[in-house]
């Protein structure tokens, strides 16, 4: 008995000692691990820095010595640590084995005989109770597993869906199928024909960017206060200065605030908000808020539609396509787009190419470019660098002698590209300053504006200008032409009519109001909307002739959209539809 | 950064002066195949020995000695790999992917313990599996886990098994190998996280018996199911049980089922209704599990190399992510079209949805099955080792007075003895 | 009893079925892990991803591809200060490459394997500007042959796969591409 007791105390002592040894060695190993071994050597930033320094001062002998010293130290330390790790772990295992052996001996010496009487009698139904508790435990565990599965499922899936299958081409040339107006994907051909586009107002300043709806008839007067000739007025949920675009029965408007960039669809007959869709970029990230001026806003580019989808661009760089039912088809970030007043160029479209003019900085910065995306998938098709300064003008696609040309204005060039592949067709050096107005084509005369500097007329393809007007150039509004005359309204309200072939003044009239929206022509009516919301409807012709006046009762910077019998005007808060009642 | 594939930019040298000949270089061979055969022989031999020790010879000392041998051989010598627990992943991948070959060694490692379990019970766990033997040696001061809690926690190894099968079958990696805590101890190296988990489990194992075996091991699920139908099994008493209760607290793993105490018959009706409810609940659980599994499966696909790469490339293509990672840069060098990558990733996702559904069905089945089993009234006359949970560690034998009598050791006073049969 | 015998028999048949399904392919034999040097992008993860503290992936030199250049881009730093063996000129962080003069203008570069940690800095230099004769391979006297190679899992170029253990290396030589 005494002998066993001696062994017991000895074993206990060994157990405690070896246990302590295990703990200490473990701590040493942990500390060794934290400092890193191979990774410390291979990824040493200090080594990289010193080597760079040596390259800039190749004759520095002292630096060379320092590098050699550091190299030796690092190597020594790494291999020492590796060896320490190996030896210490083996020692730890040995210590652990000794600890276990002695601890088991101690334990078995201490073992007492089981005493069922001390445990107490077994209760009736104890197994039922245990089973009941166990059922709850199993249910609880299942709930936990399910909850974890749900949590895992909230991770966003960042894969594009399968590429859209080729739609059947059944009605390539007809009017838009009624289904497309109802919001279903159009069963007609994937691309609209030129005739289809001409019958709608699919982009900023309408088809061809001309601002002219030749078959439209709009009322000559309206008043939002009394409701005269106001068919409907709907609040746009988010603010923006972009203009509306219309296709059939759908009116699209964009709006944005700091947390979302959205597209809204209104019903042209009733003004009801059919849907609002917010851009969701893959990965769920929000791009940073860009610097925008008060006069540009977070939703300045006007969207564009091809009757199958509506495409919207925002100064954040977000660009997305939505189908007519509001479902996002694709979204990308092509930013950053920032320039000094806030990005404002609207989108242009040619067949399946979505065209984006991104002009920033100074011409020599090389930051400006023209980008084309596939309308169906958003994939970039081509990108061309532009040696121009920042601009706020929108590109237009024009038919010049049967050839489609994408024309973009910025300081110092007017450049024309082939919209299919981005090849430059011609350029004309005739602009300067911050170009905001967009060009218009009337007949064979292309008019471009260099704000506060000049209005120039040139024939597409020419290297010289046909005429140049040195004063009266507006800084924001784009001009409009009925084919013979050119109408230009300056920000101050001075409206001038020029002969489009010669650039000579025909008449002028001071409207004495601030103007930001570009004028539009519907039939033979020239429509102007001032910043205060006052409108003038004039008759196009060789003299100033006022047909009527309109009032929407709120500020307006977006350009008016005439189509058919209606005129759409986007004010600061509301979208108005004006139709003769 | 332009990464060019190696081009032969510089011509081969011509050693005209010294006639120097190019040195060869070493190509050390991997360990020869005969060592693999040795491993298999040792495995089968150890399984046979463990069966004999647990069922016939009934010796705790023998089990401990065999366990120490297994820890040393399968653990520290073979560095814990290839192990039976991980081999089921190879088998799953081999069954799912017809181009994946499973070597014979791996097959034997995976199936031999199951065959033995079908015949003798979980003798693999007792002293052959290095993980189990290691935990067994660490157990110094057993703390009893409440039985009901044990039932709940037992869902974890079933879930782990399901997940391991998903990832192995779809080629998404071997999660059992990635998250094996003990292999870091055997290799004496590993990531800081896994080493800490290993040490943590060992320390836990000092107090809670065999925590990995009971609450984590996915292979244990299969062994338990096989052991349920074994021909011979571990018996606590060598012959007759006298319900003396002396073995009640001898099992640190809650693997002894006591004889049932008489339950009042007035509860029969509620019990029958509950059982019916549990049976009706089973198809609901299956449906819920299958549906949720499919939904989750699609998201689990992100762990697969192809899907992960496709997602990263898509984020870069759409401008949502700037720059490239090593993987996306490596992909772009190959010049493969992005669309084909997306298509491959979608195919992998579909496989994951299917695998997820199956796993969800499995978990639903397990939960439903457990609830049913827990609702069945049982009548047990003797103290028995639980068919599923007993790991044949031989701790309980010495507490039985019949065993002590068989061995010729002094029997505690007052302990009832049955005449030896 | 009979039900248990039945289930046991059915399970045995099931296990036998699994064996039968897989046994044909088991003749493919044992496999080991190896790096395909033509796919490798020299990212450097081999050094830290291995489960062993000093990686089993090490650099090997294909002498028949080597140009034996005086300015070896795998040995020397970019824009080395001087073409000698000083520490500030070498790429290798552990000094595992030895440069010996053979005859003018040829130098031989050999690797001291115990020192190599598999960081691929020399491989990158050699592949980008040289002949690409230095490449990483998994050394089978060190490799533990994990069931799932953790370097393979980390490799961004998916360059590491199982190869038959009878041909455990994928060395580069001049004829291949």
- Transcribe chain C into DSSP letters: -HHHHHHHHHHHHHHHHHHHHHHHHHTT--EEEEE-TTT----STHHHHSSSSS-SEEEEE-TTT----SS-TTTBPSS-SSSSS-GGGB--TT--EEEEEEETTEEEEEE-GGG-----HHHHHHHHHS---EEEEE-TTT----SS-HHHHH-TT--EEEEETTS------TT--
Which residues does chain B have with pLDDT short of 70?
Answer: 1-7, 263, 419-421
Is A184 a residue whose pLDDT tops 60?
Answer: no
Taking every pair of C-alpha atoms in chain A, what is the biggest distance, in angstroms?
131
> Cα-flanking dihedrals φ and ψ of residue B143, to 5°?
-110, 135
Smallest CA–CA distance, residue A347 to chain B, in Å, is: 18
Which residues does chain C have with pLDDT short of 50?
Answer: none
Smallest CA–CA distance, residue C43 to chain B, in Å, is: 7
Q: What is the 3-state secondary structure (H, E, C) of C24-74?
A: HHHCCCCEEEEECCCCCCCCCCHHHHCCCCCCCEEEEECCCCCCCCCCCCC
Say what the pLDDT of residue A255 is: 92
For residue A131, the chain B residues in CB contact (below 8 A) are 374-375
Q: If pLDDT is split at 50, 70 and 90, which confidence band does A174 have?
A: very low
Q: Say which of C41, C66, C68 has its CB closest to residue B330.
A: C41
Model confidence over A406-439: pLDDT tens digits? 999 998 899 999 988 889 999 998 888 888 899 9
Half-sphere exposure of C41 (CA within 13 A, CB side): 20
Cβ–Cβ below 8 Å for B81 and C144 = yes
Say what the pLDDT of residue C26 is: 66
Q: If pLDDT is split at 50, 70 and 90, which confidence band does A177 have?
A: very low
Residues A216, A521 contacting (CB under 8 angstroms): no
Q: If pLDDT is split at 50, 70 and 90, which confidence band does A141 have?
A: very high
- What's the length of chain B? 421
Cβ–Cβ below 8 Å for C86 and A72 = no
> Cα-flanking dihedrals φ and ψ of residue B188, to 5°?
60, 25
Q: Does C117 touch chain A (CB under 8 A)?
A: yes
For residue B314, the chain A residues in CB contact (below 8 A) are 158-160, 282
Q: Say which of A134, A145, A159 has its CB closest to residue B151.
A: A134
Q: Is B120 helix (H, G, I), strand (E, B) or coil?
A: helix
Q: Does A74 touch chain C (CB under 8 A)?
A: yes
Smallest CA–CA distance, residue B312 to chain A, in Å, is: 8
Cβ–Cβ below 8 Å for A41 and C95 = no
Say what the pLDDT of residue C28 is: 61
Smallest CA–CA distance, residue C117 to chain B, in Å, is: 16
Is A190 a residue whose pLDDT tops 70?
Answer: no
What are the C-alpha distances in Å from A567 to residues A90, A490, A570?
A: 87, 22, 10
Say what the pLDDT of residue B219 is: 96
> Cα-flanking dihedrals φ and ψ of residue B130, to 5°?
-65, -35
Cβ–Cβ below 8 Å for B258 and A140 = no
Q: Say which of A125, A134, A379 has its CB closest to residue B263.
A: A125
Cβ–Cβ below 8 Å for A135 and B375 = yes
Smallest CA–CA distance, residue C86 to chain A, in Å, is: 7
What are the C-alpha distances in Å from C59 to residues A137, B25, C42, C123?
A: 54, 11, 11, 8
What's the CA gap between C158 and B169, in Å, rounded? Answer: 19
For residue B80, the chain A residues in CB contact (below 8 A) are none
Q: What is the b/e burial string over B214-234, where b = at least 16 CB atoms within 10 angstroms of the residue's CB?
A: bbbbbbbbbbbbbbbbbeebb
Where in chain B are the domains? 38-257+385-407, 268-375
Cβ–Cβ below 8 Å for A54 and C88 = yes
Give the residue with greater pLDDT, A190 vs A177.
A190
Chains with ≥3 CB–CB distances under 8 Å to C: A, B
Residue B169's contacts (CB-CB under 8 Å, 6 or more residues apart) are B92, B93, B95, B96, B97, B351, B355
What's the CA gap between B235 and B54, in Å, rounded? Answer: 9
Half-sphere exposure of A499 (CA within 13 A, CB side): 7
Q: Does A580 touch chain C (CB under 8 A)?
A: no
Cβ–Cβ below 8 Å for B147 and A130 = yes
Q: Nearest-5° angle of CA A329, CA A334, CA A336?
A: 145
Q: If pLDDT is split at 50, 70 and 90, which confidence band does A171 have?
A: very low
Q: Which of B5, B10, B111 to mutate to test the interface with C (most CBs of C within 10 A)?
A: B10
Smallest CA–CA distance, residue A562 to chain C, in Å, is: 57
Residues B161, B225 contacting (CB under 8 angstroms): no
What is chain A's mean pLDDT, rounded?
85
Q: If pLDDT is split at 50, 70 and 90, which confidence band does A121 have?
A: confident
Cβ–Cβ below 8 Å for A145 and B159 = yes
What's the CA gap between B111 and A228, in Å, rounded? Answer: 87
Q: Is A380 helix (H, G, I), strand (E, B) or coil?
A: strand
Beta bridge partner(s), residue A499:
A485
Annotate A462-497 with DSSP letters as a single string. Answer: -SS-SEEE-S---SSPPPEE-SSEEEEE-TTSEEEE
Say what the pLDDT of residue B413 is: 77
Residue A97's contacts (CB-CB under 8 Å, 6 or more residues apart) are none
Say what the pLDDT of residue C177 is: 52
Say what the pLDDT of residue A172 is: 40
Tokens of A362: 């100074």
Residue of B nearest to C130 (CA): B9
pLDDT average, residue stretch A140-169: 76
Cβ–Cβ below 8 Å for B114 and C19 = no
Residues B300, A152 contacting (CB under 8 angstroms): yes
Q: Say which of C48, C54, C94 has its CB closest to residue A75.
A: C94
Q: Say which of C69, C139, C157 has its CB closest to residue B10.
A: C69
Residue of B nearest to C3 (CA): B229
Say what the pLDDT of residue B392 is: 92
Interface confidence (ipTM) of the complex: 0.89
For residue B140, the chain A residues in CB contact (below 8 A) are 100, 103-104, 107
Smallest CA–CA distance, residue A225 to chain B, in Å, is: 46
Taking every pair of C-alpha atoms in chain B, what is the biggest distance, in angstroms?
106
Q: Say which of B15, B118, B230 has its CB closest to residue C106.
A: B15
Q: Say which of A34, A146, A332 has its CB closest to residue B292.
A: A146
- What's the length of chain C? 177
Q: Say which of A64, A79, A82 has its CB closest to residue C88.
A: A64
Smallest CA–CA distance, residue A152 to chain B, in Å, is: 7
Say what the pLDDT of residue B133 is: 95
Q: If pLDDT is split at 50, 70 and 90, which confidence band does A117 have?
A: confident
Model confidence over A518-562: pLDDT tens digits? 999 998 899 999 999 899 999 988 899 999 998 888 999 889 999
């Amino acid at each position: 008995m005494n002998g066993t007791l001696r062994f017991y105390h000895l074993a206990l002592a060994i157990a405690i000692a070896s246990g302590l040894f295990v703990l200490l060695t473990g701590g040493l190993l942990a500390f060794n691990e934290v400092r890193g071994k191979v990774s410390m050597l291979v990824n040493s930033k200090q080594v990289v820095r010193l080597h760079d320094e040596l390259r800039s001062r190749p004759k520095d002998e002292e630096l060379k010595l320092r590098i050699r010293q550091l190299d030796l130290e690092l190597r020594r330390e790494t291999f020492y640590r590796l060896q320490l790790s190996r030896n210490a772990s083996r020692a730890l295992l040995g210590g652990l084995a000794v600890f276990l052996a002695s601890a088991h001996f101690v334990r078995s010496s201490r073992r007492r005989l089981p005493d069922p009487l001390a445990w107490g009698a077994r209760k009736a139904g104890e197994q039922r109770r245990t089973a009941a508790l166990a059922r709850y435990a199993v249910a609880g565990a299942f709930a936990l597993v399910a909850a974890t599965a749900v949590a895992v499922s909230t991770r966003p899936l960042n894969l594009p869906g399968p590429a859209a299958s080729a739609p059947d081409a059944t009605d390539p040339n007809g009017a838009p199928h009624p289904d497309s107006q109802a919001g279903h994907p159009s069963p007609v051909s994937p691309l609209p024909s030129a005739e289809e586009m001409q019958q709608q107002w699919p982009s900023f300043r309408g088809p061809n960017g001309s601002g002219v709806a030749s078959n439209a008839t709009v009322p000559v007067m309206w008043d939002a206060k009394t409701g005269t000739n106001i068919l409907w007025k709907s609040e746009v949920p988010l603010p923006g200065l972009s203009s509306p675009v219309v296709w059939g029965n759908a009116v699209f408007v964009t709006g944005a605030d700091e947390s979302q960039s959205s597209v809204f669809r209104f019903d042209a007959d009733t003004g009801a908000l059919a849907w609002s869709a917010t851009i969701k970029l893959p990965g769920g990230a929000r791009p940073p808020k860009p610097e925008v001026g008060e006069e540009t806003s977070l939703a300045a580019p006007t969207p564009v539609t091809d009757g199958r989808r509506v495409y919207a661009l925002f100064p954040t760089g977000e660009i997305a396509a939505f189908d007519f039912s509001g479902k996002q088809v694709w979204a990308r970030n092509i930013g950053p787009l920032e320039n000094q007043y806030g990005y404002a160029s609207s989108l242009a479209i040619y067949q399946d190419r979505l065209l984006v003019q991104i002009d920033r900085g100074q011409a020599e910065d090389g930051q400006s470019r023209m980008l084309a995306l596939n309308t169906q998938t958003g994939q970039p098709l081509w990108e061309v660098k532009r040696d121009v300064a920042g601009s706020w003008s929108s590109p237009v696609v024009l038919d010049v002698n049967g050839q489609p040309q994408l024309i973009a204005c910025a300081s110092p060039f007017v450049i024309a590209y082939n919209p299919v592949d981005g090849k430059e067709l011609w350029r004309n050096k005739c602009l300067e300053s911050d170009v905001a107005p967009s060009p218009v084509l009337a007949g064979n005369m292309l008019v471009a504006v260099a704000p506060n500097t000049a209005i120039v007329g040139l024939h597409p393809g020419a290297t010289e200008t046909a005429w140049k007007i040195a004063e009266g150039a507006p800084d924001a509004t784009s001009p409009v032409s009925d084919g013979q005359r050119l109408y230009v309204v300056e920000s101050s309200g001075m409206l001038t009519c020029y002969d489009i072939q010669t650039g000579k003044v025909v008449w002028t009239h001071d409207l004495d109001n601030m103007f930001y929206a570009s004028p539009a022509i519907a039939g033979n009516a020239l429509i102007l909307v001032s910043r205060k919301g006052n409108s003038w409807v004039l008759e196009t012709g060789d003299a100033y002739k006022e047909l009527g006046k309109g009032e929407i009762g709120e500020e307006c910077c977006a350009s008016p959209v005439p189509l058919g019998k209606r005129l759409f005007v986007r004010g600061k808060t509301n979208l108005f539809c004006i139709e003769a009642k | 950064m332009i990464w060019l594939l190696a081009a032969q930019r510089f011509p081969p040298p011509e050693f005209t002066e010294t006639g120097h000949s190019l040195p060869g270089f070493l190509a050390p061979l991997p360990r020869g195949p005969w060592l693999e055969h040795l491993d298999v022989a040792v495995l089968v031999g150890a399984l046979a020995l463990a069966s004999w020790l647990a069922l016939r010879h009934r010796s705790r000392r023998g089990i401990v000695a065999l366990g120490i041998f297994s820890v040393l051989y399968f653990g520290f010598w073979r560095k814990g790999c290839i192990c039976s627990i991980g081999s089921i992943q190879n088998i799953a991948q081999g069954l799912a992917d017809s181009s994946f070959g499973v070597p014979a060694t791996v097959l034997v490692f995976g199936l031999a313990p199951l065959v033995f379990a079908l015949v003798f019970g979980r003798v693999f766990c007792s002293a052959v599996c290095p993980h189990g033997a290691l935990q067994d040696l660490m157990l110094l001061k057993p703390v009893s886990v409440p039985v009901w809690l044990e039932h709940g926690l037992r869902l974890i190894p079933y879930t782990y098994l399901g997940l391991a099968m998903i990832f192995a079958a779809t080629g998404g990696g071997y999660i059992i190998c990635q998250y094996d805590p003990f292999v870091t101890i055997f290799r004496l190296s590993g990531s800081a996280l896994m080493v800490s988990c290993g040490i943590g489990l060992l320390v836990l194992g000092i107090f809670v018996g065999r925590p990995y075996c009971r609450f984590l091991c996915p292979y244990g699920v299969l062994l338990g199911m096989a052991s349920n139908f074994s021909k011979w099994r571990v018996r606590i008493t060598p012959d007759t049980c006298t319900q003396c209760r002396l073995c009640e607290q001898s099992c640190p793993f809650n693997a002894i089922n006591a004889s049932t105490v008489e339950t009042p018959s007035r509860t029969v009706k509620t019990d029958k209704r509950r059982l019916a409810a549990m049976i009706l609940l089973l198809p609901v659980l299956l449906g819920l599990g299958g549906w949720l599994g499919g939904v989750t499966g699609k998201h689990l696909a992100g762990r697969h190399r192809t899907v992960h790469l496709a997602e990263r490339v898509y984020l870069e293509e759409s401008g949502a992510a700037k720059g490239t990672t090593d993987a996306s840069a490596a992909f772009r060098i190959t010049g493969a079209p992005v669309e084909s990558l997306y298509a491959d990733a979608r195919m992998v996702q579909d496989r994951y949805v299917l695998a997820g559904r199956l796993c969800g069905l499995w978990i639903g089945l397990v939960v439903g099955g457990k609830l049913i089993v827990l609702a069945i009234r049982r009548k047990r006359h003797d103290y028995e080792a639980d068919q599923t949970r007993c790991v044949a560690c031989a701790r309980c034998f010495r507490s039985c007075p019949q065993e002590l009598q068989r061995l010729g050791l002094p029997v505690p006073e007052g302990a009832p003895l049955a005449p030896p049969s | 009893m009979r039900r248990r015998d039945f289930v046991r028999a059915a399970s045995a048949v099931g296990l036998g079925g699994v064996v039968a399904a897989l046994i044909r392919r088991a003749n493919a034999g044992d496999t080991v892990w190896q790096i395909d040097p033509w796919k490798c992008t020299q990212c450097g993860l081999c050094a830290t991803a291995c489960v062993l503290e000093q990686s089993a992936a090490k650099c090997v030199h294909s002498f028949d591809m080597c140009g034996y250049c005086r300015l070896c881009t795998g040995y020397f730093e970019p824009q080395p200060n001087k073409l000698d063996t000083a520490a500030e000129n070498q790429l290798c962080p552990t000094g595992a490459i030895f440069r010996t003069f053979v005859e003018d203008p040829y130098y031989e570069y050999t690797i001291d394997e115990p020192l190599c940690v598999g960081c691929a800095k020399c491989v990158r230099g050699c592949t980008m500007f040289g002949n690409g004769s230095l490449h990483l391979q998994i050394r089978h006297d060190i490799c533990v042959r994990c069931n799932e190679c953790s370097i393979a899992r980390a490799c961004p170029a998916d360059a590491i796969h199982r190869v038959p253990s009878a041909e455990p290396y994928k060395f580069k030589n001049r004829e291949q591409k």
